[in-house]
Structure 1
């Protein structure tokens, strides 16, 4: 016979009040997870009768009231419980979370901060504080708290995804990718991690991987509009235009993120009178009054592009003007500071410095810097170089800016905190070392590689000393075409000067000064290349350019559409087409609408061009 005596003895043991309370709390949590809030409340009331005055139970009841929709009552009770235990980190965090959900983010941050101060090793408090700081764009302190939260508890998925967001917003994409892969190791089905990873991989131009994670996110959450948007962007950047258009159109027709998808679709292909995006655009314009400022700017840039496609140039320009007026308000630019910075970089790299610091730097690599004003043809030139067998195309690398940021002595000298005479060839060699180390982190190992960050023209003097084998191709384009193209593009905070004609002209004047100076001062290292010449006779121009940088001719550079180099810039759709000249003298379509810009650019234009824009005095 089976003996049940041990079990009988166990059943006869009496549970302590604490054990019964713990079991009841476990059942309460189960009820709450299942949405059975009334059942949870019944158990809470019973517990509170058994344990009158227990502050934690009052807190739990307050949270349950909030879950039941009785927010005012629950909040009052939560505040009362917190007043009795003001240093309870759990209560502080829960109350802060309620405030955040109610839109009171600044006050919520104060309570999260208080929880961290009371319990510095409470990982959830660190994680929540970091997440709140990310929402407020306070990214450096957010990163510190989120990194600490993960060190304390590596299982916190939200801490990983929020940290990745902070990394991406500070352009630390490799760190973002690393932390998101760690999140997926914890939970391979974390949809948010897949979505964020797709976004980070897009920024690192790893489009096949971005496509994979976007598709995985959609498998787990088929209605994720953000995942679909990333999928569309990855497909477009990989040249899969038809599939990308279909994905983006589906999102544009949906209830979530339709405007972003519509904008991307309009910029991806030409709008026609009967296209689906034309109808969606008209509907969006009727609903403009419901949108925030950023969304209205996005809408008007898209509308400008669509009406330009349709040949309705006056309407197009009106939309571009509205979009840029919003951007000017949202993203300010200081033209005086910009000009002073550009002038200082030229002044600093004096003939004396160039002579004194010559002979240093790193000669192991021969970078080809393709720089100039944005929208001047840098992407086209990069794509053509990518077809050369000896060149690894780097795209828009931040390596020069990062190398400058890491070289304190040069920064101090530029800011006149250190005498210029104390800068030596060793300082420039360190600058070269930092640049090369950053490039290697990008996976670029070739002797010849391109770097098409447009603003690198500012650093030509310093980079020529740091990397003595470097060549600099300064792309030039007719100023009216170039600046109009900038004005038509939604750069937002990344290029705030593009929203104002006067600011565009100011930046162009600084660019022209730098281009002319360095082409004259360093003729063996710097060559100006006109976009119009490349489109008029690409073979002749590329033969000349390849000879200048020290590479042999290959006709493959003319077949840039076949490049395996994928694109994630404003030129993504254009580089999939044959070289065309329809962007040359595009400004003439807009006639007298260009008059304010032409006035600002007077010194760079002919009398005929000024007259064509309506400038007669």
Structure 2
């Protein structure tokens, strides 16, 4: 009697699929891609192969290839349990949120089978700013796989967004118990609240630093330690920890601040008075957008929350849509051939159809923002595009946040950003960028007189009501007392200020740089030399 042998083509397909995953895990991306190519070419009817190849492509940062693979899977198995979720994931990675949103909404009610599926859907919901729905799926994932630390970390992240600080800390305690060396979990726990001499995590952080080997983890742990030491007013130790973290993080980056400085100066040259004001009326006549701009950590979130409490305003958070719409429009210009420098893209952007740019931006915003009479877009870096914004959306309001230069710079320096603001990890580079920002904002105010409403952070937190009233008057909105109760808002906040916005207004951060005056003196000297007033 012959023993049963699996179908040979199926066995070969399974072997190639397994080999692709092995190559990926071994850090051999080219080999993994070649296995996927052979698998799909020789076994096009093998549905599992398309699914694995889509997942591998996404992990390798190739969302377009991942989308093509999952679409091929759906042709074979339209009801494949994970295919629609994978397709939504690919669309989100490609920046095609409008297409992904209905898929994600449908999946929210689907009978998901695994913790992986719940966690993936939760991530997509969170990125679409559906934090409460994301929370439910992260809870499912943590229930199904309670020993997986990542689920508890993700749960804590969303709990922080929605104001559940106590539950978030408990979830992080669990995550750290399961993975004691998870630097991200330690950092998030340090950021949740003000630490006290009676309740802090400094011994655990110091122990984790002694064990840490990975440079990125070491940097993150130093930032967490610096934050807790600052809470305890151990100023020299706090700055030393932050400085170690910043130097470690900067060493991992390829970045030239001179390129950014040149780009900002190029923006001012290209968008002179004639360019900024020419045919401004041809843009969209919508008054809905309220742009809140400035450097990060200068109070943009506070202003967004004040405005967002108004009955006619939706707080949409840090939208990247204007920059994306502009970049796509520039890429479609006939002159946009080959690899362009930042400065070349700036020059080409002045040739755009600004009316179309305004329409594209308004069509790209999330549905909740589009449905409101007004919405706040508080992407700080939109300060780069004020000339384009004025051309594309001449009736939009622009609010610029100013903060004492040294408080602003120190707040930036002590923040560990995910991928943005690479100038923030070196005090010399931070000074150079700040001076370029200072020059560009002076330029915008000169060529757009009366178009920008400036809010000084120190004045706002010292005398909230009159400055809030002036803000609403500029936006053309009637006064509502609810705007003073921004800390009572149930709306999610996904910024670095997510914990602080739950507190009433305070002045604790005003003049905080003075505790580090000696360490910041070289930065102060460069700012003074560049014409920035520090008194």
Is the Cα contact below 8 Å between 1:131 and 1:159 reproduced in 2? no
From 507, 511, 528, the equivalent of 2:454 is 528
TM-score by length of 2: 0.89
Q: Is the 8 A contact 2:107 2:121 kept in 1?
A: no
Which among 235, 244, 249 is matched to residue 313 of structure 1?
235
Residue number among 454, 457, 465 corresponding to 2:391 in the alignment:
465
- Aligned-pair CA distance for 1:111: 1.9
- Report what 1:214 is aligned to: 138
Deviation at 1:526, TM superposition (A): 0.8
Output the CA distance in 1 between the equivalents of 2:407 and 2:442: 19
| 1:329 to 2:251 alignment | yes
**Alpha-carbon contact 1:379-1:452 (below 8 Å) kept:** yes
* Corresponding residue of 1:95: 19
In structure 2, the CA distance between the partners of 1:592 and 1:210, relative to structure 1 (3 Å rule), is same
Aligned match of 2:159: 235
Would you say the 8 A contact 2:309–2:482 is kept in 1?
Answer: yes
For 2:529 and 2:431, the matched residues in 1 are separated by: 10
Tell me the equivalent position of 1:493: 419
Separation in 2, partners of 1:530, 1:419: 32
- Residue matched to 1:127: 51
In 2: Cα distance, 1:189 partner to 1:421 partner: 47
Distance 2:334 2:471 in 1: 33
Cα deviation for residue 448 of structure 1 reads 1.6
* Residue range with higher mean Cα deviation, 197-206 or 179-188: 179-188
Asked if 1:295 corresponds to 2:211, the answer is: no
Closer, same or farther in 2 for the Cα pair 1:158/1:318, shift >3 Å? farther
1:78-115 deviation digits (Å, cap 9, x = unpaired): xxxxxxxxxx5444333333434555444233222222
Report Cα offsets for 1:253-272 as digits up to 9, x if no partner: 22377432221111011122
Say which SS state the counterpart of residue 493 (structure 1) adopts. coil
Pair 149,487 (structure 1): closer, same or farther in 2 beyond 3 Å = farther
Structure 1 window deviating more from structure 2 (226-235 vs 465-474): it is 226-235
Residues 368, 466 of structure 1: alpha-carbon distance in 2 compared, 3 angstrom cutoff: same
Match of 2:297 in 1: 375
- 8 Å CA contact 1:392, 1:448 repeated in 2: yes
Residues 527-555 of structure 1: CA deviation (Å, up to 9, x unaligned): 22111111111112112222222122222
Q: Secondary structure at the match of 1:502?
A: helix
**Cα distance in structure 1, aligned partners of 2:110 and 2:527:** 57
TM-score, reference length from structure 1:
0.78
Give the direction of change, closer, same or farther, for the CA distance of 1:176–1:500 in structure 2 (3 Å limit): farther
Q: Is the 8 A contact 2:314 2:368 kept in 1?
A: no
Count of equivalent residues: 529
Q: In the alignment, what sits opposite 2:193?
A: 269
Partner of 2:285: 363
Any idea what SS the aligned residue of 1:373 has?
Answer: coil
What displacement does 1:161 show? 5.6
Q: Partner of 2:528 in structure 1?
A: 602
Tell me which moved more, 315-324 or 90-99. Answer: 90-99
Q: Is the 8 A contact 1:403 1:434 kept in 2?
A: yes
TM-aligned CA distance change 1:392 to 1:108, over 3 Å? closer
Residue 453 of structure 2 aligns to a residue whose secondary structure is strand
In the other structure, the counterpart of 2:266 is: 344
C-alpha distance in structure 1 between counterparts of 2:93 and 2:410, whole Å: 28
User: Where in structure 2 are the equivalents of 1:378-527 lying within 5 Å?
Assistant: 378-408=300-330, 423=351, 427-441=353-367, 443-527=369-453
Residue by residue, what CA displacement relative to the aligned partner does 1:570-605 show, whole Å, maximum 9, x if unpaired? 001111111111111111111321133223323367
Aligned equivalents of 1:297 and 1:591: distance in 2? 23
**Kept in 2: contact 1:370–1:382 (CA 8 A):** yes
Question: Equivalent residue for 1:251?
Answer: 175
**Conserved 8 A contact 2:400-2:454:** yes
The answer to whether the aligner puts 1:136 opposite 2:25 as a matched pair is: no
Unaligned segments of structure 1, at least 5 residues? 1-16, 27-54, 61-87, 610-617
- Quickly say closer, same or farther: Cα 1:545–1:195, change in 2 above 3 A: same
Corresponding position of 1:540: 466
Q: Which moved more, 1:255-264 or 1:469-478?
A: 255-264
Give a deviation string over 1:432-475, Cα, whole Å, max 9, x none. 10011012545432222111000111111111121121111111
SS at match of 1:392: strand
Match of 1:593 among 497, 507, 519: 519
Farther-moved stretch of structure 1 (449-458 vs 345-354): 345-354
Give distance in 2, aligned partners of 1:360 and 1:125.
51
Question: Contact (CA 8 Å) 2:462, 2:507: kept in 1 or not?
Answer: yes
Residue deviations 1:480-517, cap 9 Å, x none?
11111111111142222211222222221222122112
Given that 2:181 and 2:208 are in contact with CA atoms closer than 8 Å, whether structure 1 keeps it comes out as: no
Contact 1:177 / 1:197 at 8 angstroms: preserved in 2? no
RMSD of equivalent CA atoms: 3.1
Q: Give unmatched runs, 5+ long, in structure 2.
A: 337-341
